């Protein structure tokens, strides 16, 4: 997963040819930071990994949040879909759809009230085809604006 995250970073920095920003490649502490993050986050995240010939080619995870109990209401949980990524050579082959189907199937089977995400501009049509719509009832605070 750390390798996929490095590939995602390279692509986000505008270089899908694999060269990327030298600072991204030369980050010798990244794997250790990723491992520490995974140790902290994995208890509340469910991660799906797509493989081709036993090689990781895509991933997606769901962070699950439980709402505070409320008198007269059943317990409720919701999920945040994050870190969705498929390596460029494997896109448009159904891998992302399989990952998303697994995430949404889990959400349905576990009665999550909703799944939210923050899509890239390029991924909006993909999520719309799966039934996602605008979240005009949410608000966002950002440290950059505060």
Count of domains observed in the chain = 1
CA 107 – CA 101 distance, rounded (Å): 10
Whether the CB-CB separation of 33 and 46 falls below 8 Å is answered with no
pLDDT 10s digits, 82-124 = 999 999 999 999 999 999 999 999 999 999 999 999 998 989 9
- Structural domain includes residue 135: no
CA 13 – CA 48 distance, rounded (Å): 24
- Structural domain includes residue 70: yes
- Structural domain includes residue 141: no
CA 61 – CA 45 distance, rounded (Å): 6
- Structural domain includes residue 145: no
Give the residue numbers spanning the domain of 67: 2-129
CA 73 – CA 115 distance, rounded (Å): 20
| pLDDT-based confidence at residue 16 (cuts at 50, 70, 90) | very low
Single pTM value for the model: 0.82
Return the exposure string of 31-60: e unless at least 16 CB atoms fall within 10 Å of the residue's CB, then b: eeeeeeeeeeeeeebbbbebeeeeeebbbb
- Structural domain includes residue 26: yes
- Structural domain includes residue 112: yes
Specify the pLDDT at position 146.
Answer: 64
Bridge partners of 79, per DSSP, are 64, 115
- Structural domain includes residue 10: yes
pLDDT 10s digits, 23-72 = 545 688 999 999 999 999 999 899 999 999 999 999 999 999 999 988 99
CATH of the domain at 87: 3.40.630.30
- Structural domain includes residue 110: yes
């Amino acid at each position: 997963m750390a390798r996929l995250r490095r590939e995602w970073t390279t692509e986000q920095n505008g270089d899908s040819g694999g060269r990327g920003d030298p600072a991204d490649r030369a980050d010798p502490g990244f794997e250790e930071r990723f491992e520490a993050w995974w140790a902290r986050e994995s208890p509340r995240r469910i991660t799906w990994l797509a493989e081709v010939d036993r090689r990781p080619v895509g991933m997606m995870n769901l962070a699950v949040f439980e709402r505070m109990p409320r008198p007269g209401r059943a317990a409720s949980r919701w999920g945040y879909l994050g870190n969705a990524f498929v390596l460029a050579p494997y896109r448009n082959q159904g891998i992302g759809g399989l990952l998303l189907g697994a995430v949404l199937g889990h959400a349905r089977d576990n009665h999550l009230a909703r799944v939210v995400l923050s899509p890239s501009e390029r991924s909006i049509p993909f999520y719309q085809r799966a039934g996602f719509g605008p979240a005009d009832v949410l608000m966002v605070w950002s440290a950059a604006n505060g």
